Amino acid sequence: MAKKNKGPKLKYDGRGGVMVVSRAMRESNAYESMPPAAKVLMDLLQMQWRNDRPVAYGVREAGQKIGCKPETAGKAFKVLQERGFIVCETESLFNSRTGSKAREWRLTWMPFDYRNPTHDWEKWKPEY
């Protein structure tokens, strides 16, 4: 019996890794009905994700990366929270002497602290 040709072996991108996103999440009503800034913010947060610590990301940094005002980035964070994509683990801190600290976020679609994702976004229902 002849062996099937499985094609060339594909390697992961060696230039910085690969981001994998659940198709079910991207096709969910919770995701599809979000404003574009919130969708971009999700990708930016996932780029900073590590399993052993929350993602520290603030509205000024998000606004700069997205290309919008910090107020718009703040609204995007709020949308992601309301829909269950992110959970605030640590609040921000502003101190002119010791330095400021951005909020720290847990991404519910990703593992955290060596535990499985909680997928809180699956529980979101639109308000009518």
Q: What is the pLDDT of residues 27-82, one digit of tens each?
A: 999 999 999 999 999 999 999 999 999 999 999 999 999 999 999 999 999 999 99
> Is the pTM of the predicted complex or chain greater than 0.75?
yes
User: How many other CB atoms sit within 10 Å of the CB of residue 106?
Assistant: 20
Residue 20 token pair: 């994998």
Compute φ and ψ for 64, nearest 5 degrees: -65, -45
Location of structure tokens 């060696």: 14
CA distance linking residue 123 with residue 54, whole number of Å: 22
Considering only CA atoms, which of 89, 114, 118, 83 is closest in space to residue 103? 89
CA distance linking residue 85 with residue 106, whole number of Å: 9
The three-state secondary structure class of 88 is strand
- pLDDT bin (cut points 50, 70, 90) of residue 102 is confident
CA distance linking residue 96 with residue 120, whole number of Å: 35
CATH, domain 24-110, list 1.20.1050.10, 1.20.1250.20, 1.10.10.10, 1.10.760.10: 1.10.10.10
